[in-house]
Amino acid sequence: MDAARLEALIGFLALADRLKHVERRGRTVAPDGAPRQENSAEHCWNVALLAVLLHGEVADPPELGHVLAMIAAHDLVEIEAGDTFAYDEAHVLSQAARERAAADLVFGALPPDLGARLRALWEEFEQGETKAARFAMACDRAQGFLQGVIGTGHWRAMGVTEGATNGRMDPARRVAPVFEALIAALYDRARQGRMFAEPRE
């Protein structure tokens, strides 16, 4: 690897470090019981771990290396665009445009071939059409929901009803029976813990 390529790689890695400072709405809980907001880098690791655990549970699984590479890259645009809370409708409407501009900056920091590789992974994830992208999406959404259960309270605090979560979780449920079962078990816990906001009359 020549010097210019190394410089670009190191510059990108210094930029990527900032994903550790992008806060999500879901929370993680310290061993002493104190919750704090999860960040997007932690989330990406956790989604990868879930993918490793569930990969053997689906019929006709996608290629694991491709899935895990996609998961490692899928939130990098948040370094520039920030995390978009899935239940903030106005923010979701502007998300695609913000993230596309961010992608030019973030992936553009890499040597062109490496930038194109990560950008293609991100676009495949966003389009959600391939088997690998659908599996990665299901892991991403299941992990987000899991974090809502573990971190208890952010749905209620944000006014998110159970009904509002279904539109986001239904596509994940449809990917494979294991996702349907896992998500059903998580909903049971969320209901038992009264974690959702009450619907307005």
Q: Footprint of a copy of itself on this chain (CB under 8 A)? A: 1, 3, 6-7, 9-10, 13-14, 16-21, 28-31, 38-39, 41-42, 44-46, 48-53, 56-57, 63-69, 72-73, 110, 114, 117-118, 146-147, 150, 177-178, 181-182, 185-186, 189
Please, which residue, 50 or 138, has the CB nearer to a copy of itself? Answer: 50
Shortest spacing between CB 201 and a copy of itself, in angstroms: 33
Please, which residue, 64 or 164, has the CB nearer to a copy of itself? Answer: 64
Query: Residue 24 and residue 43: Cα distance in Å, rounded?
Result: 9
| Structural contact between residues 114 and 9, judged by C-beta atoms closer than 8 angstroms | yes
| DSSP structure class, residue 20 | G
In residues, how long is the chain? 201
Please, which residue, 30 or 90, has the CB nearer to a copy of itself? Answer: 30
Shortest spacing between CB 164 and a copy of itself, in angstroms: 22
Query: Residue 186 and residue 148: Cα distance in Å, rounded?
Result: 9
Query: Residue 63 and residue 135: Cα distance in Å, rounded?
Result: 10
Please, which residue, 50 or 81, has the CB nearer to a copy of itself? Answer: 50
Query: Residue 188 and residue 1: Cα distance in Å, rounded?
Result: 52
Q: Is the dihedral of CA 194, 92, 138, 146 positive or negative?
A: negative
Shortest spacing between CB 153 and a copy of itself, in angstroms: 15
SS3 23: strand
Please, which residue, 55 or 199, has the CB nearer to a copy of itself? Answer: 55
Shortest spacing between CB 89 and a copy of itself, in angstroms: 26
